[in-house]
Amino acid sequence: MRDLLDKLRRYRMGPLIGLVLICIALTLMSDRFFTPANILNIARQVSINTLLAVGMTFVIISGGIDLSVGSILAFAGALAAGALASGIDTGLVLLYACLIGLAGGTLNGLLIAYGRIAPFVATLGTMTLFRGATLIYTEGRPIRAVEEGFNAIGGGYLGPIPTPVVITAVMVFLAWFVLNRMTVGRRVFAVGGNEEAAVLSGVKATYSKVFVYAVSGLMCGLAGAILTSRLMSAQPTAGAGYELDAIAAVVLGGTSLSGGQGGVLGTLVGALIIGVLDNGLNILNVSSFYQQAVKGIVILIAVLLDRRNAARG
C-alpha cells in the first residue's frame, strides 16, 4: 500500500483520483449530475477559471503570485465591450482584449522584475488600480456587448462542444507545450526552483518573471472577452474574487506554492474539482454558505498536502 501511495504521489495522480471520487459520489447522490447536458454545462462554467488558473500556474511555478487577475479580466472585458459598441470588428475586439490583458500582465512583471516589488504587494496594488480603472471607464454601469459574432465566442458551439471549452482546451495545450517542450518553460521552472542557481547558470530571471506575468495577463484578457461575450455585457464588478479560485485550482492541481514544480494539466484537474463541487452542491440544493465552507476545507487540505510533499521532497 505504501509503495502504491508513493507512486501516486510521484506521478501526481492524487488530484485526478480526488476528482473521480467526487464525481462518483455526486452521481450516486443525484441522477441529474452525470448527464451530457450537465457535463457540458460544467465544462463551460469551468473554462473561465481554467484560463485564469493556467496563467497563474506559470506565475506560481516561477515563485510568484498574481492577485490582479480578476481586475485585469474586468478591465479587458469592459474595454472590449466599449470597442464593440464603437463598431470595431469582432475579431479585432477579441485581439484588443487579449492585448489589454497582455499589457496589464506585463506591467505586473516589470514592477516585480525591475521595480523589485514583492509579487504579493505589486499585484495587490495593480488589482486595485485595474478595478478602479474599470469603474471609472464604465461609470459603475454595465456596458452592453450585443453582436452575433462576438456573442458566439462565449455562448456559441463548435459542433456539440461549447466554444469557450474549445478555446480553453487549445490554450491548455499551448501552455503545456511551452512549459514542457520549450526552453522558456524550462527557465521558468529553474527560476522558481532556485533563482540564484538559475542566474548563475545564465538564465535571465528578470525576463522569465516578465514573461510569466505577461502570460497571466494574456489569459485574463482572453477570459474577459469570453465572459463579456457570454453575459452580453461588461460588468464593472466582473471577476471579483476570481483570483482566489484561480490560485485554488493551481494548488489543488499539485503545483507547489514554493515554485519550481507543477503543470497545467494538474491545474486543469484542479479547476474541474472546483467546478464539479460548485455544480454538484447546487444540484443538491446546498446553501451557498456551506458551499464556501466546503471549498475552503478542500483548499486547506490541498495546501497541507503541498506542505507535506515539500517536506518529503
The whole-model pTM stands at 0.93
Average pLDDT over residues 15-24: 90
pLDDT at 313: 56
Residue 25 located in a structural domain: no
**Tens of pLDDT along 24-71?**
999 999 999 999 999 999 999 999 999 999 999 999 999 999 999 999
Full DSSP string of 215-235: HHHHHHHHHHHHHHHHHTEE-
pLDDT at 294: 83
Residue 127 located in a structural domain: yes
What total number of domains does the chain contain? 1
pLDDT at 11: 44
Res. 283: pLDDT tops 70: yes
Res. 7: pLDDT tops 50: no
User: The domain spanning residue 234 has which CATH number?
Assistant: 1.10.3470
The rounded distance, in Å, linking the Cα atoms of 164 and 310 is 35
- Band the pLDDT of 5: cuts 50, 70, 90: very low
Res. 306: pLDDT tops 60: yes
**Tens of pLDDT along 202-227?**
999 999 999 999 999 999 999 999 99
Share the mean pLDDT of the chain.
Answer: 91
Residue 33 located in a structural domain: no
pLDDT at 299: 78
How open is the CA angle 140-144-146, to the nearest 5 degrees?
Answer: 165
Residue 22 located in a structural domain: no
Residue 27 located in a structural domain: no
Residue 7 located in a structural domain: no
Structure-block grid coordinates of residue 290: 456551506
* 129 vs 293, more confident: 129
Res. 300: pLDDT tops 90: no
Full DSSP string of 123-181: HHHHHHHHHHHHHHHHTTS-EE---HHHHHHHH-EETTEEHHHHHHHHHHHHHHHHHHH
Q: Which range of residues forms the domain containing residue 285?
A: 41-306
Q: What percent of the chain has pLDDT over 90?
A: 76
**Tens of pLDDT along 143-189?**
998 888 899 999 999 999 999 999 999 999 999 999 999 999 999 99
Res. 191: pLDDT tops 50: yes
Residue 29 located in a structural domain: no
Contact of 12 with 303, CB cutoff 8 Å: no
Cα–Cα nearest to 192, from 270, 255, 252: 255
Res. 296: pLDDT tops 70: yes
Residue 237 located in a structural domain: yes
The conformation of residue 303, written as its DSSP 8-state character, comes to H
